[in-house]
Structures are given as structure tokens and as C-alpha cells.
Structure 1
Amino acid sequence: MKKLAFAAIAAAAMMGQAQAADLGVRRVAVPAAIAAPVFNWTGFYAGLNVGVGIANTNFSVLAPGFPGSGSGLVGGAQIGYNHQINNFVIGVEGDLGYFGVSRSAVVGGATVNWKTTWDASLRARAGVAIDRTLLYVTGGVAFADLTLRQTPAGGATVSGSQTRVGWTLGAGIEHALTQNWTVRAEYLYANYGSKIIRSNNGGVTDPVSLQEHKVRIGVNYLFSTGPSAVVARY
């Protein structure tokens, strides 16, 4: 009887240890994937820009001693639309702004002045998006004004102005600070060819060339950044 009782107690103890061992195993939670939204450039946007512009003409060749180049402040606004396909971004943008370059000199006793006051463009954009950073090139049609004024000593002022149409090319980089706000830096070159300027007294000049360079920074507000992709990050 003692042997049977001892065997029963030993069996019960072994079963208790087995159950305790089972209860002691802790389940380890599997870390869940964290879904992080990837920035998407698709959508309409609008913004402002400011920078420095350089205008080049051939006035120094047409009238020796007369300045043919000048620099000044540029600034304005832009509006556009982007569409992203995988990492590629295409779009269209239009801008209009102030282009403040003016030069003057005394030539042959007369005070001569030329200036540009505004420019605009309608351009296509294409680039590669690296998440929140966009590298792009741009090009299209450009518009600008050019005015020539001459005041002879003791005489009446003669002036002529025209709106030029040309082409423009450039490149830039844009970065999204938030889901809706971006900053950018870009360079644009515009060429308006050579054309005569007709004055208010019926006179004409030799063909006058005009090219522009702009380096500017800007800020944009994206009204919609489109459907955001989701990437699982662990």
C-alpha cells in the first residue's frame, strides 16, 4: 500500500510539473507592419517666387558705349499641375512676374534708356521624384517686354516698346516640407531672337536681340497630392 501511495503521489507531481511548464511558455507578439504613406506629387498647385534676373541685348554693338546687359530683381507667381506615374512626374506650369532690368547712358548728347519690366511663360515639366524631392527639367514658350527711350538734348523724347515671344528652358529641384507645402530653386533661360523696334515717331531701329537668365527660389501650396501609396516598413 505504501508503494502504491508513493507511486500515485509521484505521478501527480509529474503531471503538475508538466502543466506548470506549459503555463510558463509566453507567447511573443509578432511586430505588425507600420504602413507609412509615400509622398505623391499628383495635383494642382500655386505659389510665389523671387530671385535675380539678367537681360542681355546687342545695344552695345548697335551704339558703342551704350550698355547692352543688366541685372535686377525678379519675382512673381506660378500655377500648375503635376501627374505622377511611379517615380516619374510630368506636368504643366504657367508663370507671370516682374522682371526689373533697366540701363541708361548718354550717347551722342542724347540720354538713351532700355528696360524690361515683366515676363511670363507657359512650360511643360518632367522629372524624377525621390519621395519628397523632385528633380525636373522644364521648357516652353516665353513672353517679355522691351522698351527703348531716347531723349535728345533739348529735344522731344522718342520711345518704342514691344512684347516679345520666344522660348525658354530650365531645370530645378523641389522639396516637400509637408503634405501640402513645397520649396523650390530653379534656373530659367529665355531667348527672344532679334527684332526691330518701331518708335512713336515712325522711326525704326536695327534688329535688337534679347535673352534672359533667371535664378529664383519659390514656395508652392499643393491643393491635392493625389492618392498616396503605402509601403510596409518594419
Structure 2
Amino acid sequence: MRKRYWATLALALLHGPAFAQESNVVGQGFYGGPVLGVDGFAGDDTDEGQTGVVYGGVIGYDVTIGGAVLGVETEFTDSSVGESEDGFLIPGDSLRLGIGADLYLGARAGLRVGTSGLIYLKGGYTNLDLDADYRDPSGFEINATRDFDGYRLGAGAEFALARNLIARVEYRYSNYDGGDRNDPFADLEIERHQGVAGLLFRF
């Protein structure tokens, strides 16, 4: 009788951690949360790039097939990257160029590492807004926004902190061009290198 009692207790203790690990499995269902990181921006005709902060949010959906994870996600971000120049055309005027909204839509594929980890690759379409603001000494002001289509490639890793809480680190490269050959920006190529971290909630 005593042996059966201790055997039952041992099985219960051993089963507990296994159950807890299963509750932290990554790579299944809807998720979303904020992302924050470093944004490196450069045009093909610039000697030096600009660095700032990228921030926003991501939502997505994953399915698990064996040890693989396949998913789709969309992300919306903004950036602090920008540059100002005084005396651009005449004394007393100013011009500011800045990174605006960035919309990403893509897919990812990854491999589970244990029950709490995931490594993945991603890729998809991205659309970037560039904002320009010109002011002259008389108070005259012109605001303009130009959007650029491009692609994004990236790689990252995730780790389940709790059943519905995931930490993410990711590197991604984005490339944009001017598009149509008749467009005055057709020869302009823009590159971005970003390293971001996210705290995601799985639903």
C-alpha cells in the first residue's frame, strides 16, 4: 500500500513539469503585441545612413505541423529617423525629411526548439511613407508624402515566457525602389536594417 502511494506521488510530481511545459508551447493560434527596436535607413546616393527608433505593433496567426510552424502576419510601424536642413533654398527656410508609416504583410516558417522556443525566417511585402515638410521665412508651408513599395526579409527567435506571453527578437532587411520608370523617383533605392524586440500575447 505504501509503495503504491509513493509511486502515485512520484508520477504526479513528474507529470507536473511536463504539463507546465506543454502549456508554454509556441507556434499555434493568433498573436499580437508591440515591437520596438533600432532602425537603420539609407538611400543609394547617401554616404552615411540615419539611425533611429522603430516602434509599432504586429498581429499574426500560426499553425503547427509536426515540429514546423507556418504563419502569416502584418505589422504597422513608425520611425524616429529623419533629417532637417536649414537654408535649403533661401536663408531662413527649412526642410525636414522623415520616415513615416510602414505597413508589412508577409509569411514566416520556423522550427520549434523544445516546447518553449522557436526560430524562424520571414518575408513579404512592405510599403513605406516618406514625409517632407518645407517652410519659408514668411510662414508658407508645404507638406508632402510619397509611398514606396518594397520587400522585407528577416530572421528571428521566440521564447514562451508563460502560457500566453512570448518574447521575440528579430533582424530584418527591407528594400524599396521608385517603381514605375516614368516616376521621378524610379532610380531611388532605399534600404533599411532593423533589429527589433517584441512582447507578444497569444490568444
Q: TM-score range by the shorter chain?
A: 0.7 to 0.9
1:38-187 correspondence runs (5 A): 38=22, 39-58=25-44, 60=46, 69-105=49-85, 106-107=87-88, 109=90, 111-130=94-113, 131-151=115-135, 157=141, 160-187=144-171
Counterpart Cα distance in 1 of 2:101 and 2:156: 21
The one-character-per-residue Cα deviations of 1:85-116 (angstroms, maximum 9, x if unpaired) are 12111101111121221112345646443211
Identity %: 28
Q: CA deviation at 1:161?
A: 2.2
Amino acid at match of 2:125: V
Amino acid at match of 1:163: D
Counterpart Cα distance in 2 of 1:98 and 1:41: 27
Larger radius of gyration: 1
Gaps of 5+ in 1: 1-25, 61-66, 197-203, 224-234
Amino acid at match of 1:85: I
Counterpart Cα distance in 1 of 2:53 and 2:125: 21
* Change in CA separation of 1:206 and 1:123 when aligned onto 2, cut-off 3 Å: closer
Dislocated runs of 4+, deviation >6 Å? 152-155
Secondary structure of the equivalent of 2:7?
coil
Partner of 1:199: none
The one-character-per-residue Cα deviations of 1:123-179 (angstroms, maximum 9, x if unpaired) are 101111111011111110001101334556779555542111110011111100111
Q: CA deviation at 1:59?
A: 5.3
Quote the RMSD (CA, aligned, Å). Answer: 3.0
